[in-house]
Chains A and B, each alone.
Chain A
Amino acid sequence: MACATGAARFDANGGGTALLDEPAAYPVAPEARTGPLWNALREVMDPEIPISLVDLGLIYDIRQDGGTVEVDLTFTATACPCMAFIHYDIQDRLKQEAGVDDVKVNEVWSPAWTKTRISEEGRHALRTFGVSM
């Protein structure tokens, strides 16, 4: 499974070797994840566990150009079974925002997700749900 179990998998896995510098914009620092689009995605839950995509650290960037919003998204594992649902949920929620006509979701894999990207709020939610961190 990708989302809930992905976190556990990386406990034992550690990181990989990075040959290239990580793009500076990835991920957007927690304190910069503000505004209506980030807040909207805080309402989009991971399909498997009660934690938002933002708190899980899956949203790397959000950009808006006129009515078009572009989201950079990663997953906890390359075979997340909920990929298509997550894409749909992001698009569905962002299109409810005023002025958003089109949403493009880019899957990015670098830098790779690790559990260190989970926010404090997310960690609290996971503990409440019974997932040890």
Chain B
Amino acid sequence: MSLEGLNSLIQSASALPDDARQALRDLILVLADSKRVLGLRYSDKMLGAPTLEAGIAASSMAQDEWGHARLTYALLGDFGDEPKALEYERPAAEYRSHPALDAAIGSWAELIAMMLVVDTTLTTQYRALVESRYVPAHNRVQKMLDEERFHFQYAAGWARRIAAVPAAREELRAALANVLAPSLLWLGDDADASAQRLVAEGLSGFDPSALRGRFLARVGPVLEDMGMGEELGVRRDGEGWSADAALDWSGWNPATRRSGGSLDEVTAARARGDKNRALRMD
């Protein structure tokens, strides 16, 4: 659903029916937590990147992701939340970050896989928010999307480069496989009531299957260029793209977009900045 198809804009979450407001709040919190942890994972590769420039790029993207997280947490003030409490006072078990971010990144190839797939998954969902009728999101998210263009270009460039190196190709393929399935799942279940409410109220713009199609249309050509599309079960399907991955909804919680597990407490402590809390500036 596009903005043009709706006859009114939503200036505040308070104007939404309760169930739609809750679904939108859940979505925004999931995005905020995912951005925060993604930034942490990028920051872990600031040292040990293939080149100094690559390490600096990881640093820059980590900073971007934290900026995006900050803006996204701030959106939750419209829902009656206290953004600073969400950012700094929750235990690990309450984080709703993308499950593919639970594990630390081991190698540069793993980082590139995460950047290409997980970051693009989040961007796909953010783009749907921009195309929604929820004005506060539009006003903040467009700037993020502008910045995310660089991340995608950078990820695609590095992925192609790694794929051309025989010694590293398999590591990249395995890393992509690890993050692809949970990312397709993360985009949600069409049958879920909250997803349906988001679409019905014009808050997400597209149902989960359509979002998967948009995500695959973005990532698929890169996988195809690398000759990995078939191996990863991603292929052209008429005008669009499709993926073979079976989506297992057992245990799926649409509010957290997880089927279980949680972030570890050490990572959450870093996300909260516990060690230097006294120096925090607000």
Contacts and interface: CB of A to CB of B under 8 A. Distances in A.
Interface of A: 1-2, 9-10, 12-20, 77-81, 84-85, 108-110, 112
A79 B131 contact: no
Nearest to B139: A110
Contact of B135 (A17, A20, A108): A20
A13 B149 contact: yes
A81 B147 CA distance: 15
B184 to A, nearest CB: 26
Decide if the interface of chain A is mainly helix, strand, loop or mixed.
loop
B150 A13 contact: yes
B258 to A, nearest CB: 26
A16 B64 contact: no
Contacts of B3: 19
A19 B67 contact: no
Interface in B191-210: none
A109 B142 contact: yes
Interface of B: 3, 9, 60, 63-68, 70-71, 130-131, 135, 138-140, 142-147, 149-150, 281-282
Nearest to B4: A19
A48 to B, nearest CB: 14
Contacts of A79: 63-68, 70
Nearest to A13: B146
A19 B142 CA distance: 10
A10 B150 CA distance: 10
15 contacts: A1-B60, A2-B63, A2-B67, A14-B146, A15-B146, A16-B143, A18-B142, A77-B67, A77-B147, A78-B144, A79-B66, A80-B67, A81-B63, A85-B281, A112-B142
A14 B147 CA distance: 10
A128 B219 CA distance: 42
A28 to B, nearest CB: 18
B52 to A, nearest CB: 16
Contacts of B138: 19-20, 110
Nearest to A20: B138
A107 to B, nearest CB: 8
Contacts of A19: 3, 130-131, 138
B12 to A, nearest CB: 15
Contact of A84 (B66, B150, B282): B282
A20 to B, nearest CB: 6
A110 B130 CA distance: 12
B281 A109 contact: no
A108 B282 CA distance: 16
A72 B225 CA distance: 45
Contact of A17 (B60, B66, B71, B142): B142
Contacts of A109: 71, 139-140, 142-143
B146 A108 contact: no
A50 to B, nearest CB: 23
